[in-house]
Amino acid sequence: MSSGEETRLYLVPTPIGNLEDITLRAIRILKEVDTVLAEDTRTSGKLLQHLGIDKRMHSHHLHNEHKAVAHLIDRMSKGEKMALVSDAGTPGISDPGFLLVRECLRNNIKIECLPGPTAFVPALLKSGFSAERFTFEGFLPQKKGRQTRLQELAKEERTMIFYESPHRLLKTLGQFSEYFGPERQVSVSRELTKMFEETITGTLADVIQQFNQKAIKGEFVLVVEGGKALKASYANE
Ligand code: SAM
C-alpha cells in the first residue's frame, strides 16, 4: 500500500497560550487538509474559529489512539489529507501522535511535521542553563518507575527538562532536592506566552521556599541544571 509522493498527514503545532504564535504555513495547511484530528475538538474548534477555518474535525486522543489508527491509515491510504493538532504546542510532544506517525511510516504514507510552538524550548532558553546538550524528560512517571528514573537522573550531566502539573509541582521539586541536592539550580517557567508568564530561577532550596509562599496555578516547565557539567564549568572559570 502506498499513498505516493503526496503528504497525507501533517503534524501541526498550535499556540501554547498566545494565539499570535501560529505560523502562516500552519494556517494554510489547516485550511487545505480534509480533516483535522484534534485531541479535544472543542479546544481546537475555538482555535479554528479564531482563524476563520471551518473544517471537519475528528477526535484523536490518548484513549482512542490505539483503536483509531488502523481506520485513519485506511482513510489516508485512499487519499484523505489530515492534520494532527494537540490542545497546545506540538503534537507528539507529551501528547498523542507517536502511534499514528509510526503506522504512517510503516504503511508508506508520507508525513510532514511543521516546526512551531512547544513549551520546553522557551523554558530551556529562559533558564540560562546550557542548551548545548539537554534531555527532555516530559512528565515523570507518577508511581511505578519514578524513583528509578530520579536515581538515574541524579547522574545526568545534561540540562534536564520536565513538564509538571500545578498540584504536583512542590512534590516534584522536593524530590529533585532529595535526589539532586538542595543546591542544584532549577528554573521554573509558568504560563509561557500568557499574561502571567514568569520564570523563577535559583537553587532548589530557594525556589521551593518561594513556591511554598504562593498559590500554585497555571502550567509549568521545570528545567534543572545538569550534574557534573555544573561543577566542571565552575572549575573552568
Ligand atoms: N504538546 C505540548 C508541547 O509541545 O509543549 C505539551 C503538552 S503536555 C500535555 C502539557 C504540559 O506542557 C503542561 O502540563 C506544562 O507542563 C507544559 N506546558 C504547555 N503549555 C505551557 C505554557 N504555556 N507554559 C508552561 N508550560 C506549558
Residue 187 alpha carbon to ligand 1 centre in Å: 15
Is there an atom of ligand 1 within 6 Å of 36 CB? no
* Predicted pLDDT of residue 5: 83
Of residues 142, 192, 144, the one with CA closest to residue 172:
142
Question: What domains can you pick out in the chain, each with its CATH number?
Answer: 9-113 (3.40.1010.10), 120-236 (3.30.950.10)
Mean per-residue pLDDT of the chain: 94
Range in 41-50, 61-70, 183-192, 200-209 with the lowest mean pLDDT: 61-70
Is the CB of residue 163 below 6 angstroms from any atom belonging to ligand 1?
yes
- The pLDDT, as a whole number, for residue 11 is 98
Quick check: 191 pLDDT over 70?
yes
> From the alpha carbon of 163, which atom of ligand 1 is closest?
16
Query: Among 2-16, 73-87, 115-129, which is the least confidently predicted range?
Result: 2-16
Strand partners, 199: 189
Query: Quick one: what percent of the chain has pLDDT higher than 70?
Result: 95
Per-residue model confidence (pLDDT) at position 1: 43
Instruction: Please give the pLDDT value at position 132.
Output: 97
DSSP states of 16-85 as a string?
SS-TT---HHHHHHHHHSSEEEESSHHHHHHHHHHTT---EEEE--TTTHHHHHHHHHHHHHTT--EEEE
Using pLDDT thresholds of 50, 70 and 90, give the confidence band for residue 3.
very low
- List, in sequence order, the alpha helices (H) in 107-200: 120-127, 146-153, 169-180
- Determine the distance separating the centroid of ligand 1 and the alpha carbon of 123, expressed in angstroms: 10
Q: What is the C-alpha separation between 158 and 147, in angstroms, rounded?
A: 19
pTM, two decimals, is: 0.94
pLDDT digits (tens, 9 = 90+) for 24-78: 999 999 999 999 999 999 999 999 999 999 999 999 988 888 888 999 999 999 9
pLDDT score, position 2:
46
Cβ-based neighbours of 236, under 8 Å, separated by 6 or more: none
